[in-house]
Structure formats: structure tokens, C-alpha cells
Structure 1
Amino acid sequence: MEPAVPPGWIILLNGVSSAGKSSLARQLLIDLAGPYFHMSVDMFGAMRADAATHALDNATHQEVLRRTRAGFHRAVAGMARAGNHIVMDHVLSEPWRLRDCLEVMAGLEVVFVGVHCAPAELRRRELARGDREPGTAERQLEQVHAHGVYDLGFR
């Protein structure tokens, strides 16, 4: 039997699409002492077979997305429970996502970081990226930060 290891830390970066979470996560991996893993909800979505997903009706597609995000939360918690430090990149744009994270990460050390960006800059970044529907980030703004409580915040 393997010896027990203490759980790792989770740095949860929450912000709208194009706010800079992934860029911040990449820099944290450079700056933080010890090995950290960057786990992004976008990376989990990219693992899904797109061709099959596009053929689904809207209700089924939404359920697949919900299960993907719930699985992401559990994967992050599992990695931390195995002793790994995680930088988690997420968009808490639905209330259930935060509740689910709180439930599955109970007992783990989580630093909750709000990543904020001005609406004009969000629009500029979305256009430059070309892989997001313009206006997506602005539509997410109200819900993503609705809880209003962070350990740290970046603008």
C-alpha cells in the first residue's frame, strides 16, 4: 500500500471567457515553487468528440456539457487529493458549478481568484482570438462574479 500523501492546493481562477485566465495560469506555472498542473475547463471540452456533439439536439448537448463540467470538477479534486497542486481555469457561469465545486472540493485547500477584465478589452480579445462568438464574455459577466467573494482578484 502506498503511503498517504497530503492533498495538494487548488488555485481556482474564475472569470469570463477571454479574461486572461489561461495566460495567468501559464505564468503561475512558471512562478510558483514546485510542480503545478494547469487544468482548464476548455481542455476538458477539447477532449470531447466534436462531430458526435454537433449532431445532438440542444437538450442532449446541454446535458453533455453539464456532465463534462461536473467531471472536470471531480478530476481537479481527484488530482489534488492525490497530492498534486492545481491551477484550475474555469468559468462559473451557472450557479450549480460553484455549488458543485464547493461540494467536491470540501476539505481541500482552495484559493479562489477572481479574474476581471474591462468589457472593451474583452471585446477586443474575442475578436483577436476568432474562436469565440463576439459578446460571449460580456453576457457571462453578471453570473460569473455574482457570488462576489474571492480570496484574491486580478484586473
Structure 2
Amino acid sequence: MSLSTVFQHFANKTSRAAGQPLTFVGAVTIIVLWALCGPMFGFSDTWQLIINTSTTIVTFLMVFLIQNTQNRDGEAMQIKLDELIRAVKEANNAMIDLEQLDEAELDRLRETYILLAQKARRGVQAGKDSAEIIQEQLDEEP
């Protein structure tokens, strides 16, 4: 088993565990216990350092684990969306893999779809049904 596979497995398990209500309750319990120990330790610098260091380490490590999970989830979602675009006959296959375009190209495409949405809303306001609006848009495509 490769290091990447082991890390992915660990990242998945840890991300799922971190998002559970019981994990939140555990974290709150640790904070409450730490706060209750304050008077016993005279609210010392060491007492404060314990929670600061602990939370910093946990946060630092969780960023990498959650980012790994998010990257894979995002990539899987893109592949699924690309397959839907490919599979739908009327869909524009040029929309597949848009995440590879630069910012300016994405902005131009976004403007095109904003104009299509505005035109569709005007059609709805004029009393047209969705099927008519979609058909008009399809007829206008080059």
C-alpha cells in the first residue's frame, strides 16, 4: 500500500470523524475542563500555553487532512458533472473541463450565461413557459 493511499484513507477517516457531533461535544468538553482547571493552576502562562499549543497543532494538521479530502471530493464532482454534460445530447460539450480555463475566459463564459438567464427571466415575465424559453435559446445557438 502506497503512502498516498494510506494518507487518503487516514484523511477520509479523520475528516469524517472531525465532522461528527460527538467530536464537537468532545472538543467542547476539553475546553470546559481546561477552563475549570484555570483556578487550580492560577491561570498561569503554562495553563494558557497548553490550550494555545494544542489547538494550534490540531488546527494545523486538520487543514491538510481536510484539504486533501476536499480536493478529491471536488475532483470527483467535476468528473461527474463532465459526464453529465457529455451524456446529455443538448448540452454543450465545450463546457467539459472548464476548470482548466483562465480567469478571463471563465468571465466571458459567465457573462454569456448571465445574458441567457436574463433573457429567460424576461420570457417568464412575458408569460412564456419554460419549454418555450429553452426552445428559443436552442434555436438561437450557432
Give the TM-score normalised by structure 1.
Answer: 0.24
Determine which structure has the larger strand proportion and give its number.
1
Would you tell me which structure has more helix in proportion to its own residues? 2
**Scaled by the length of structure 2, what TM-score is found?**
0.26
Max Rg structure: 2
